[in-house]
Structure 1
Amino acid sequence: MSDQPLLNVRGVSKFYGSRIGCTDVSFDLWPGEVLAIVGESGSGKTTLLNCLATRLMPTTGCVQYRMRDGNLRDLYQMSDAERRFLMRTDWGFVHQNPADGLRMTVSAGANVGERLMAVGNRHYGNIRNTASDWLERVEIAQDRIDDQPRAFSGGMRQRLQIARNLVTSPRLVFMDEPTGGLDVSVQARLLDLVRGLVSDLGLAVIVVTHDLAVARLLSHRMMVMKGGRVIEQGLTDRVLDDPREPYTQLLVSSILQV
């Protein structure tokens, strides 16, 4: 891991009138680190994720990202065009519903190829070959390259969305409940695939999940949210094996009793 954080988050809050989305969240994320943000529905974890990924503007706070030149940039001081470019190239965002992260009416190959074109690739043969290689990496048969995502199962769509996000070698990937809505057996395969890719590519990942098993399998560190606040954070194994806060203890024990 680098000796400098990739992301600096300080005092991020999001209010909807008098309602708290999230409040006073601060942490650093390091290159190659996977951070899980966990909590029940309504805990504020998705609001926080959307603030970090610049999909929502926080009410207060600062998020700084270390660009490839080593300089820290305040994400909210960037222009919309700069943020969009970052999202298309250096970042990825994996949606819970893959239809939100794919173009459903173009081919699987074109979904992957679009990201390559965003970083300047123009050679059709090279783009197609790279797309084909990535389909294989996410366990989609290469002869499906010209099929549209709407012909795929939910698990295949999610794997295609992951390929679309990772093909440009991003340094930071946001994942919002990446296994939500999938059958348990499909979830297990997807998690194995994601864990392998994250490790191979040295990605930094922020993953939001209500599933502590997902957090344990994927993350190095985790933050537990309740009512918009981070109430406990630490190394994943420590938090899950020795939770200090009563709410975290309740979350962990409820999983064990299922």
Structure 2
Amino acid sequence: MLDRTIPADQPLLVAEHLSKSYGRLQACRDISFKLYPGEVLAIVGESGSGKSTLLQMLSAQLAPSTGTVSYRMRDGVLRDLAALGEAERRFLFRTDWGYVHQDPAQGLRMAVSAGANVGERLMAVGWNHYGKIRDTASSWLSRVEIAQDRIDDAPRTYSGGMRQRLQIARNLVTEPRLMFMDEPTGGLDVSVQARLLDLLRGLVTELGLAAVVVTHDLAVARLLSHRVMVMQGGRVIETGLTDQVLDDPHEPYTQLLVASILPA
């Protein structure tokens, strides 16, 4: 279900000369790129490379020291996120954006039911019919491979993989145009990771989502993304189509990453 409100040749998200400093420490340095509708970009690098700081700036959770992030609204106008009011940013997160945290407890309300976690997002965009909300929540649980009879159970009773799938359902139920994912398979067993990646790839393709995925796992980048940016020391040192970068890396650091020599 591709988004038709924006022509495919017009970028959805634009980063221009983004930098972030903490005193003398430069976490990100002069990063620019464009993300187009339906495109999945993976940001890869070892711990401390600046990739998570970049994701927080792109999702308006962290103000850049210099540079801008702009987002194309549904009216087609590209807006500087720094110029948006707090209410406008919250509205984006309820409607156009989703954010999948590495720890699903950060993206879920652990004390309420799974159905309430999904239904809460629908109510935030104006749904008020209890039956329709519950039916839609139940349908989405099935789509992320959670048994519908678990709808009234709290996420704290779920396994780690189920919690992550529930977080995905909560984010996707309002059909956002852009997803941010921070190490979406981190901390899960290998078999659970593989199942989750297959699910994510299918949903992203089916819904025509644009996404920015931060990961240290190149298998995640290869499976999910169209394009890769490799970060080292706060800089983007290599970028290109995923297969090109991972099969024929030019930079020595990228070659080490691909060879799995560097630690995660």
TM range (shorter): over 0.9
Between the two proteins, what is the percent identity of the paired residues? 77
Find out whether 1:204 has 2:210 as its counterpart: yes
1:103 aligns with 2:109: yes
Q: How does 1:141-156 map to 2 (within 5 A)?
A: 141-156=147-162
Partner of 1:242: 248
Q: Does 1:55 align with 2:61?
A: yes
Q: Distance in 2 between matches of 1:84 and 1:254?
A: 39
The answer to whether the aligner puts 1:231 opposite 2:217 as a matched pair is: no
Structure 2 residue 31 is matched with structure 1 residue 11: no
Q: Confirm whether residue 32 of structure 1 aligns to residue 38 of structure 2.
A: yes
CA distance in 1 between counterparts of 2:93 and 2:181 reads 13
SS at match of 1:254: coil
Give the drift of 1:40: 0.1
Q: Paired residue for 1:254?
A: 260
Letter in 1 for 2:112: V
Amino acid of the residue matched to residue 122 of structure 1? N
CA distance in 1, matches of 2:131, 2:73: 30
Which of 163, 166, 174 pairs up with 1:160?
Answer: 166
Does structure 1 residue 22 correspond to structure 2 residue 28? yes
Q: Deviations over 1:189-245 (max 9, x none)?
A: 000000000000000000000000000000000000000000000000000000000
Give distance in 2, aligned partners of 1:216 and 1:103. 31
Gaps of 5+ in 2: 1-6
**C-alpha separation in 2, matches of 1:16 and 1:129:** 47
Structure 1 gap segments, 5+ residues each:
none
> What secondary structure is seen at the aligned counterpart in 1 of 2:120?
helix
Equivalents in 2 of 1:203, 1:14: separation in Å? 27
Deviation at 1:255, TM superposition (A): 6.4
Supply the distance in 2 between the matched residues of 1:17 and 1:255 (Cα, whole angstroms).
31
Aligned twin of 1:81: 87
Q: Distance in 2 between matches of 1:253 and 1:189?
A: 24
Alpha-carbon separation, structure 1, partners of 2:120 and 2:20: 32
Aligned length: 256
Normalised by the length of structure 1, the TM-score is: 0.98
Provide the alpha-carbon RMSD of the alignment.
1.0
CA distance in 2, matches of 1:225, 1:88: 30
Once residues 102 and 73 of structure 2 are traced to their aligned partners in structure 1, the CA distance between those partners, rounded to angstroms, is 27
- AA aligned opposite 1:76: A
The residue correspondences of 1:212-227 to structure 2 (distance < 5 A) are 212-227=218-233
* Secondary structure at 1:128 match in 2: helix
**TM-score (ref. length: structure 2):** 0.96
In structure 2, the residue corresponding to 1:56 is in which secondary structure?
A: coil
Aligned counterpart, 2:177: 171
Q: Which residue of 1 aligns with 2:4?
A: none
**Which residue number corresponds to residue 125 of structure 2?**
119
